[in-house]
Amino acid sequence: MLVKITQIDAGFKFLCTEKPMVNGPTFPDLPELQIEFWDESNYPILTDEEGKYTSAPLFWGSCSDDADTSLTGVIAVLTREEYDADKLTEAKARKPFDSWIFDEATLAWHSPIPKPEDGKDYLWDEATTAWVEL
């Protein structure tokens, strides 16, 4: 089944937004849990003065169809359509530069001009919309 989850305290199993995770973060104990993507566009997740997360980091993946989804940290069980829509939304949110172009087939961003393949190191310069040799 497809799930959206967040982190919980590894020892006491409370939500990461309830209080600081003194035992470190872990995921809900879902059998065969496989994380496929996360809300990287929202990182870093901020913490308050006590050390608890101000918002829950989100992770999407799959687990066994007979998993107990009432566990702390399970945000939602998703349909394929909901899962794919969330994945597309997250991929689009990761836009590295205003000039870059999104490829919906691969869920990847590409520069408007190809990076030179001459063995040298380059960085993208958004001001000139060009690759600049290091």
Express as a percent the part of the chain with pLDDT over 70.
Answer: 100
Identity of the residue numbered 53 = Y
pLDDT category at 73 given cuts 50, 70, 90 is very high
- Summarised one tens digit per residue, pLDDT across range 74-124 is 999 999 999 999 999 999 999 999 999 999 999 999 999 999 999 999 999
Q: What is the pTM of this model?
A: 0.86
pLDDT of 51 strictly over 90:
no
| Residues 24-33: tens digit of each pLDDT | 999 999 999 9
